[in-house]
Amino acid sequence: MAELPEELKERFDREVNSQPVMIYMKGTPEFPMCGYSQRAAQCFQSLGVPVGHVNVLMDPEAWEGVKLYSDWPTIPQIFIGGEFVGGSSIVMEMLESGELEAKVNAAKEKAQSESTTA
């Protein structure tokens, strides 16, 4: 896969906007299969924030596709409010600085106001 097929792009557009926090990871938040995916998911658990996830080990198309979608070579990949924020090391730094909580809260508010106006 050198270029992202249009239908996959549409899938990611939908998916990353379907939840305030979306993680493409190896394994699941309950059963992570990689230390980096585990740490990324734990950042949100420590804030008490539920996350949507895609287990790329079960979804090879998403595994390769999300790298093209976000122009980022590694897994995990984290999206907040539909916006790509980075991998595990960036998310851990954001947790420490307090930026992560602020961003998640803004995404939750946005999702709420959209669902009430819809």
Partner 1 sequence: MAYTPQQLKQAIENGLPDSVAYIEDTKGTGDHFNAVVICPEFEGKSAVEQHRMVHRAMQEIIEGDLHALHLKTLTPAAAERAGYHIA
Which residues make up the interface to partner 1 (CB under 8 A)? Answer: 34-36, 71-74, 84-90, 93-94
* Residue 7 or 71 having the CB closest to partner 1: 71
* Residue 63 or 84 having the CB closest to partner 1: 84
Q: Minimum CB separation from partner 1 for residue 58, in Å?
A: 19
* Residue 81 or 87 having the CB closest to partner 1: 87
Between CA 65 and CA 90 the distance in angstroms is 21
Q: Minimum CB separation from partner 1 for residue 118, in Å?
A: 30
> Could you give the residue ranges of the DSSP H alpha helices within 47-85?
60-70
CA dist list (Å): 82 to 32, 54, 77: 22, 14, 12
Strand runs (DSSP E) across the chain, as ranges? Answer: 21-25, 52-55, 77-80, 83-86
Diameter of the chain by CA atoms? 40
Q: Minimum CB separation from partner 1 for residue 73, in Å?
A: 5
Sign (positive or negative) of CA dihedral 19, 80, 14, 109? positive
* Residue 63 or 72 having the CB closest to partner 1: 72
